[in-house]
Amino acid sequence: MFKAVLIEKDEAGYRAGVTEVDEAALPEGDVTVRVDYSTLNYKDGLAITGKGPVVRKFPMVPGIDLAGTVEASSHADIAVGDAVVLNGWGVGEGHWGGLAQRARLKGDWLVPLPAAFTPRQAMAIGTAGYTAMLCVMALERHGVTPASGEVLVTGANGGVGSVAVALLAKLGYTVVASTGRPQEAGYLKALGAAEIIDRALLSAPGKPLAKERWAGAVDTVGSHTLANVCASMKYRGAVAACGLAQGMDFPSSVAPFILRGVTLAGVDSVMAPRGERLEAWRRLAQDLDVAKLELMTQEIGLGEVVATAAALLEGKVRGRVVVDVKR
């Protein structure tokens, strides 16, 4: 038996809570992992509260991330005792996930835990930090350099935003952080932001084109915010879009793309190929300041997950949430 957060949906309604689960109930997979740490991401919050159609079958153990040690394996490239990390692949949506003390998974979904990180640090990074790194890599691929000009990060107090600010700042970019929580300006400047702007400047309906300002942007928000970011990009600027905190819609026009040559690069972390995952984790080990990682991280136990998920969706959680599944 092991402890897990379990989401159930039946005639009694939609509910989530910590319960004891028999290991025999674990789904099929060629690797069994003793989970050391997991995380709480925006998608996990949607799944646990039922406020988004994330979970595809019930019952479901949520948790799109985990770090742990292999206890059993029939996968040719994974041995018992290996330290591994999982991000995405539909885990916590259609396959039991990481908010549990055990997980059974497909070995092809796993990557080695980088030597630079402990399991806790890897989960302080989690899908949010790995996604932020993919966004930075996308900007680099499209020619955005520190010399290009200011780079905007929207939703900067969230998990992806916080890591993106820290990464870009360490790489030498001038980072402007957009947030709805101006009281967190000190936190964002400690991560490396040069300037803080109010998200209200970007969140209302805007014009097809605005004054050119941003050389690059990491957008975690979507909707009018993303439209306004695109409208205010510099000539040949690039936006890495990875989130929908404001909404899934994109009320924009083609003007930024055909008049300024702006690139809108979609960043998907869930199904990203293994090579990109390995490179993202290599870059995180190289380019992320671990001291700043600790600054943006809070730790909870399994029993606190449900309440914290609700607070996360209400915008009351700063940075990253690590879950110690052993408590």
Query: What is the CATH classification number for the domain harbouring 64?
Result: 3.90.180.10
Q: What is the mean pLDDT of residues 162-181?
A: 97
Is 155 a domain residue? yes
Residues 315 and 258 in one domain: no
What SS3 class is residue 146?
helix
The DSSP secondary-structure symbol of 247 reads: B
HSE, CB side, 13 Å, CA atoms: give it for residue 145. Answer: 2
Q: What is the mean pLDDT of residues 237-264?
A: 97
Number of domains in the chain: 2
Rounded CA-CA distance 327/324 in Å is: 6
Greatest CA separation found in the chain? 60
Domain that holds residue 229: 127-266
Q: What is the pLDDT of residue 205?
A: 97
Please check whether residues 12 and 74 belong to one and the same domain. Answer: yes
Tell me what pLDDT residue 168 has: 98
Q: Does 107 share its domain with 173? A: no
Residues 107 and 187 in one domain: no
Q: Report the pLDDT value the prediction gives residue 77, as an integer from 0 to 100.
A: 97
Give the mean pLDDT of 18-29.
97
Give the model's confidence band at 146: pLDDT under 50 very low, under 70 low, under 90 confident, else very high: very high
Where residue 272 falls among pLDDT bands split at 50, 70, 90? very high
Q: So what's the pLDDT on residue 102?
A: 98
**What pLDDT is attached to residue 262?**
98
Q: Average pLDDT, whole number, for the chain?
A: 97
Residue 276 lies in a domain: no
Quote the CA–CA distance of 256 and 15 in Å, as a whole number.
44
Query: Taking a C-beta distance cutoff of 8 angstroms, is the pair 117, 125 a contact?
Result: yes
| Cα–Cα distance, 20 to 17 (Å, whole number) | 10
Give the type of residue at 95.
Answer: H
CATH of the domain at 200: 3.40.50.720
Runs of H (alpha helix) within the chain: 42-49, 119-141, 159-170, 185-191, 200-203, 223-231, 255-259, 274-287, 290-295, 305-313
Omega into 59 within 30° of 0, i.e. cis?
yes
- Rounded CA-CA distance 47/52 in Å is 6
Go through the chain and tell me how many residues it has.
Answer: 327
Residue 289, domain member (yes or no): no
Q: Which two tokens stand for residue 302?
A: 């399994």
- Average of pLDDT values for 286-306? 95
How far apart, in whole angstroms, are the C-alpha atoms of residue 244 and residue 165?
18
For residue 282, being part of any structural domain is answered with no
